Amino acid sequence: ARWLHPLPLTPQTTLTAAHNADTDTPSRTVSGIIVPWGTPGYTSVGLITAQRGSIQVPADVKHLKIFRDHSDAGGTPVGYATKVEDTEKGLVASFHIADTPDGDIALKDIKEGVRDALSMEIIGQEISGDLLTAGQLTAVAIVAVPAFSASRITQVTASHQTPAGGKAGRLTMPP
């Protein structure tokens, strides 16, 4: 029943996950542009340009998961959305990355520049010519090569533990 009430995003719409004391700090957060508006991208269905307002997101953005690689290509879920916003540049989101071995690998891939891009997974897409006019966002993937060149991770905030009881640190960086 994930899509009982998908919400179309209109310009300047922001959806934020419900309060969660464990994740309200920016620790283990990645943010970036999922899809830019009005810019062609080489997608799995060919050259497509996403029209602003064409993508619906789950009413509860926490249901929007982020994977390390695409979910249909053996990708691993590593987190969930905490915020999705329709901006002039495109559909922008922030994700909490789980404090798990898979989440650690995803953060390391981003830091090392191996996978520093985002790719959307949508269903129910409607395409007119080469223009995406509708679709429901079901997941986002951290990938090496995005369909849209501007679909990049723009900010990473992560904490880490040092071995043998050393001090924890916080790292904030652009990828």
pLDDT tens for the chain, 175 residues long, are: 333 334 444 444 444 444 344 444 558 999 999 999 999 999 999 999 999 999 999 999 999 999 999 999 999 999 999 999 999 999 999 999 999 999 999 999 999 999 999 999 999 999 999 999 999 999 999 999 999 999 999 999 986 544 444 444 444 444 4
pLDDT value of residue 104: 96
Q: What is the dihedral of CA 3, 5, 7, 13, to 10 degrees?
A: -130
For residue 46 the two structure tokens come to 């060919």
Angle at 154 between CA 63 and CA 29, to 5 degrees: 45
For residue 154 the two structure tokens come to 């723009």
For residue 27 the two structure tokens come to 């620790």
Which ranges constitute the DSSP H helices of 61-136?
A: 101-112
Please return the burial class of 33, using the count of CB atoms within 10 Å of its CB with bins 0-12, 13-18 and 19+. Answer: buried
pLDDT value of residue 14: 43
pLDDT value of residue 96: 98
Q: How many CB atoms lie within 10 A of CB 140?
A: 28
Alpha carbons 19 and 16: distance in angstroms, whole number:
9
